[in-house]
Amino acid sequence: MNVLITGANRGIGLGYVKHYLAGGHQVWACYRADQGGLAQIDDPSLHLVRWDVSQDPPPGFIDEAGIPAGLDILINNAGVYGGHKGRDQSLEGVTPQTMLEVFDINCVSPLRVVKHLWRRVAKAGGVIANMSSKMGSSADNSSGGVYAYRASKAALNMLLRNLAIELGRHNPAALCVGLHPGTVDSRLSHPFQANVPAGKLFSPARAAGHLLDVLDGLGPEDSGHLFAWDGHRIPF
């Protein structure tokens, strides 16, 4: 398979890279500036792509990067938390600037990527997987707070519903889903880790393995939905 992953230089993105390479697949791993853990991988099936997804790429960038005409899996993994849970994401502390910065990376940037690659996914009858969160679920929200992050993921969930419809019109075999990885031991999740029950803080490799199992089990009826790491649907 041909797989492209954004935010692939560390955390769960790097976990995806390692899993797909171990399976013998071709992987285009995108990073903003620092190759991070990608620099330690020596594998001819790994193709490094320097792509700051917060910016539109220049004309011809996609072909120059060697991204194939058909993509089986596109994982929009790049994302940010934004500020600190107790201050910058509280009702009194959140600012328009924080809201816009988090929204840009967590929602607008995946759209930037998809605008350039969706036809390649549709051609292959592939899957677009957006890394979302149950924190973007209105139905699941019982604690409040975390304004910027929650709002950005809620917007991303609407985006994936739209993309599922668009992809289906061009190729019914092409799917778009959202993925909730649980709490992963990564830089993004540090504000949440203190409240995570024992055994529910996953390493990036374990989280990636869970979500790859979810992707492997998808069918046409699953397009446009949000899935947790254990495979159950999360209501929007």
Among the ranges given (50-64, 146-160, 183-197), the one the predictor scored with the smallest mean pLDDT: 183-197
Percent residues over pLDDT 70 in the chain: 92
Look at 193 and 11; give whichever has higher pLDDT: 11
Q: Which CATH number fits domain 2-234: 1.10.10.10, 1.10.1740.10, 3.30.43.10, 3.40.50.720?
A: 3.40.50.720
| Type and span of the H or E element at 233 | strand 233-234
Look at 75 and 196; give whichever has higher pLDDT: 75
Q: Cα(103)–Cα(53) distance, rounded to whole angstroms? A: 13
Q: Cα(135)–Cα(119) distance, rounded to whole angstroms? A: 30
**pLDDT, tens digit, 9 for 90 and up, residues 78-90:** 999 887 655 788 8
- DSSP per-residue string spanning 163-211: HHHHHHHH-TT-EEEEEE--EESSSTTTTTGGGPPTT-EE-HHHHHHHH
**pLDDT at residue number 92:** 85
Q: Domain locations in the chain? A: 2-234
Q: Give the amino acid at 70.
A: G
**pLDDT, tens digit, 9 for 90 and up, residues 8-33:** 999 999 999 999 999 999 999 999 99
Q: Of 223, 113, 118, 231, which is closest to residue 172 (Cα–Cα)?
A: 223
What does the angle CA 207 – CA 6 – CA 138 come to, to the nearest 5 degrees? 60
For residues 84-105, give the mean pLDDT: 85
Beta bridge partners of 127: 73, 175
Phi–psi pair at 201, nearest 5 degrees: -100, 110
Q: Of 32, 23, 26, 28, which is closest to residue 5 (Cα–Cα)?
A: 28
State the pLDDT confidence band at 183, using cuts at 50, 70 and 90. Answer: confident
